[in-house]
């Protein structure tokens, strides 16, 4: 398996955020919200693999990625 980079984690988190926004725009159904669930699960799996490979705490990695994604969104909105 290819090593996961921090940029891969950021892209996976962005995909999960976008899928979450799309899911919130429609009434709940397992089918309609499945892309969000899948994107979130993909992000979590990548975080766990990255943390294990890098010898880092999973929670710290997840928080660093989410912080990077949030701050990038704020910078884009401010521009």
Residues 5-46: tens digit of each pLDDT? 999 999 999 999 999 999 999 999 999 999 999 999 999 999
pTM: 0.85
Distance, in Å, from the CA atom of 61 to the CA atom of 26, rounded to the nearest integer, reads: 31
Q: How many CB atoms lie within 10 A of CB 11?
A: 15
If pLDDT is split at 50, 70 and 90, which confidence band does 78 have?
low
Q: Is the pLDDT of residue 65 over 60?
A: yes
Q: Is the pLDDT of residue 61 over 80?
A: yes
Distance, in Å, from the CA atom of 63 to the CA atom of 25, rounded to the nearest integer, reads: 26
pLDDT attached to residue 41: 98
Contact 69, 54 (CB under 8 A): no
């Amino acid at each position: 398996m290819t090593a996961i980079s921090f940029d891969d984690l950021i892209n996976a988190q962005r995909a999960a955020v976008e899928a979450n926004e799309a899911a919130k725009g429609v009434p709940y159904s397992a089918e309609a919200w499945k892309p969000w669930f899948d994107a979130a699960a993909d992000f979590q799996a990548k975080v766990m693999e990255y943390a294990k490979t890098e010898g880092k705490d999973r929670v710290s990695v997840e928080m660093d990625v989410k912080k990077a994604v949030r701050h990038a969104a704020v910078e884009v909105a401010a521009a």
